[in-house]
Amino acid sequence: MIESFPGRPAHLIWGNLKEYPGPNEAGLQWSREWVAEFLWVSKFWLGPFIPLICVYHPDTTKLVLKSSGINDEGLKFQREMTGLFPKVSRGWLGPFLPMLFVYHPETTKIVLKSSEPKSRNAYRLIEPWIGTGLLVANGGKWKRNRRLLTPAFHFDVLKSYQLIMNKTSDILLTKLEKYAETGEIFEVFSNISMFTLDTMLQSAFAYEIDCQTTGEHHPYVVAVHELVELVTERFLKPWLHNDLIYLLTPDGRRFKKHCDFVHKVAEDIISKRRKAVKKEAKGYSQKKNLDFLDILLSARDENNQGLTDLEIRNEADTFLFEGHDTTASALSWALYSLAEHPEIQKKLQAEVDEVLQGRDTDEILWDDLPKLQYTTMCLKEAMRLHTPVPFIQRELTEPMELDGHEAPAGTQISVMLYNCHHNPLVWPNSMDYIPERFSPENVEKRDAYAFIPFSAGPRNCIGQQFALHEMKTVLAKIFRRYSLKLDPTHKVEKYETLVMRSQTGIKMKAFRR
């Protein structure tokens, strides 16, 4: 049963929560050490009554994923736990919630390949924000909606977005040009976050606002950032999991206010598109390129039933969050690693120069993307090292064997993606930035579940190709024109929420090549 899983001793009241340093570098280090200790799967108690099983090996994450705010100190703690328990470990979230953590390919594979649903306990906290879209839905609803949304990510549809990705990248480059001219130090995440939001709104919804010029003070961005932090804080405080109690707190009231705002943004976008469809009628139905919202509005299942207005809003909110915030994190950390390693940056620039040789434009064409092989390696290594989405949750509906131990039905399992990507059994010198880890020959030698930034199995990220194309496009355009250097006086400190951030920002300078 749950006690048979490996894990550190738990406090009677706090479980294993007290030993976790928090959402910082120490927490990431703790996570890596935990994986080293429990290489495949482990148990973590969220207080006295809620066990969480953590998987971080391809075999165990695969089983889970194929189923239907931590700072630097906290991240260090995670790495330490990974070292102590290399595959799986047990922990308590408070006195009543035990959890198992998995972070080795062998244990993560088992979890992610299974038909187990997303954890109701974990994802319930985000439901008031994004509803029961693909990220949260389970069972028949998830299968139906996944099938209806899949055409939105067909290569022919993605190809039509390439022009927009170049356009929004050029707006970002205009800002970088000003920084290069003045020598001004700029903050990376805020600028990249505006770029990804702009790209998402224009590509998926044909919705243009001036968010790249408005900057990080754009109300939608402020709302999303606060929602992410509020959800993370609430998850780590079991006494706030009760909705009534939470809504009586200042944080609960702020959470509701921001939810209402982002819902209004999505509803306005949907309403305007419905009016356009009705006005243009036949001509609209013959559009050559349908975007994400077009497909949501026109999708029909085998019973000729479309998505309800609420389902469309839920999917729009989910797509805006996942396509904007997580991509911004991945890109920001990629720029950070490349600025930190000028010799790697030069190799990437050489590749981009070769691909664009002889052209009088910096436009990245659809056919250029497969040629950017080293750029892709640099991007994937940054996603491994920094892990934009640090963890995902599952809940067992039936017993599951992990690393020789049986987890009972009802067990909460946390697939620790950050720990997976720093498991010493899989990734030697895991804190080093080495793009060659993702050369074709090295990828072939490695378990497919060793690197899972977009999750894996049937519930993998439906928009991962969109995100990869967007990130490769903007990286190529940036380094075709500029070199980046970190501000040596600024210390970057990680902060692990639903998305990996820097609590101090990422600051650097741009130099014209």
Q: Which residues contact 230 (CB under 8 A, 6 or more apart)?
A: 251, 254, 255, 258
Indicate the residue type of 462.
I
Consecutive H or E run containing 70? strand 70-71
Distance CA 167, CA 27 (A): 38
CB 403 within 8 A of CB 87: yes
Please, are residues 307 and 148 in contact by the beta-carbon 8 Å criterion? yes
Relative orientation angle of helices 373-386 and 464-481, to the nearest 10 degrees: 110
Q: Which residues contact 342 (CB under 8 A, 6 or more apart)?
A: 483, 485
SS3 call for 502: strand
Under a CB-based contact definition with an 8 Å cutoff, are residues 55 and 113 in contact?
no
Binding residues for heme: 461
Distance CA 124, CA 133 (A): 12
* Torsion, CA 131, CA 134, CA 140, CA 141, rounded to 10: 40
Q: What tokens were used for 301?
A: 């299942």
Nearest to residue 197, comparing CAs of 185, 215, 177, 176? 215
Binding site feature residues: 461
**Secondary element (H or E) of residue 214:** helix 211-214
DSSP string, 137-152: --HHHHHHHHHHHGGG
Residue located via tokens 């019973």? 303
Give the count of beta carbons closer than 10 Å to the beta carbon of residue 280. Answer: 12
* Helix, strand, coil percentages for the chain (3-state, nearest 5): 55, 15, 30
- Whether 464 and 73 have beta carbons less than 8 Å apart is answered as no
Tell me the torsion sign for CA atoms 286, 290, 296, 299.
positive
Q: Write the CB contacts of 329 (distance below 8 Å, at least 6 apart in sequence).
A: 189, 386, 388, 389, 499, 500, 501
Place of tokens 């419905």: 274
Cα–Cα distance measured from residue 158 to residue 167, given in angstroms and rounded to the nearest whole number: 15
Q: Which residues pair with 484 in a beta bridge?
A: 510
d(CA 444, CA 108): 19
